[in-house]
Amino acid sequence: MAKMKLFIVPSADFATTAGDYVARRMFDFGDAVSFVLGTATGGTMEGIYSTLVGKARRDSDLGLCLRTAHYFGMDEYVGLEPDNPQSYEFFMKKHLLAPLGTPTRNLKLPSEKTVLASPLAEDGRSVYDQMIFDVGGIDLQLAGIGENGHLAFNEPGSMRTSWARRVELAPGTKEANARFFSNSSEVPCEAYTMGIQTILRAKSVVLCASGKKKARAVQRMIEGRPGSDCPASFLLDHGDVTVFLDWDAASDLRSGLYT
């Protein structure tokens, strides 16, 4: 089991520090014009994407890399149209693609078409998984962690061998996401999610978490053992994971074993 590289950063510096790290790592995977980025969404990611956009405007090499990259989203709600402000496609266009001038066609997300409507391969992988493999796999996967330890929308109980699929969201996940909607009845009950197996095949993973509400899940992920009760803990089986936490998210950690 490899150690995770862990950085604990003051909240005021969190987005800049994590964004700078991601920008540097983008040039570690060969040809920058065919870079493959796995994307995550949420409030923590907004600041990181803003940092990347700002750096790309000052650095032509980074700008070219981000404008020509392949983007694969970790998840998407069932039933939301792409122009819905709460859809993850809308989020990615608003916070990263549009500010950079990146074509929308460069972004792919799991959907009914790529997860359910097309035949699966013999090993169970979906068309979405195959699309990722066809471009050489994900170079750098950005990720967050849910308050219950979910990774993408792989809720507790998800298996390490899972592929992209349609899932039912846990009650706690729906409650946490309700703040983004005008009333609780609008919160989707289901989503399409990248599977754990595909996430673990990324060459490198950068997981970012902030806020006290994430502290318990962070402690379980880092100081426990890989297990389906906390799907993010399967990242302990990955050889190249870097974790950025603010002090609140790190507040339940019990050891100093991770550097």
Q: Measured between alpha carbons, how far is 55 from 63 in angstroms, rounded to an integer?
A: 8
Active-site residue (options: 70, 75, 147, 246): 75
Q: Is 84 one of the catalytic residues?
A: no
Kindly state the tokens that stand for 249.
């998210």
Active-site residue (options: 76, 147, 148, 246): 148
Q: Measured between alpha carbons, how far is 92 from 148 in angstroms, rounded to an integer?
A: 24
- Over the range 9-19, which residues count as b (16 or more CB within 10 Å of their CB) and which as e? beeeebbbbbb
Q: Is 150 one of the catalytic residues?
A: yes
In DSSP notation, 87-143 reads SHHHHHIIIIIHHHT--GGGEE---IIIIISSPPPTTS--HHHHHHHHTT--SEEEE
Q: Could you give the 3-state DSSP secondary structure of residue 170?
A: coil
Return the residue matching tokens 């750096």.
55
DSSP-assigned beta bridge partners for residue 38: 72, 141
Q: How far apart are the first and last CA of the chain?
A: 15
Active-site residue (options: 129, 150, 154, 177): 150
Active-site residue (options: 139, 155, 177, 238): 155
Exposed/middle/buried for 88, CB within 10 Å: 0-12, 13-18, 19+?
buried
Exposed/middle/buried for 51, CB within 10 Å: 0-12, 13-18, 19+?
buried
Q: Is 95 one of the catalytic residues?
A: no
Sheet with 5-9, strands from edge to edge, namely 5-9, 241-246, 204-209, 140-143, 36-39, 70-73, 107-108
Catalytic residues: 75, 148, 150, 155
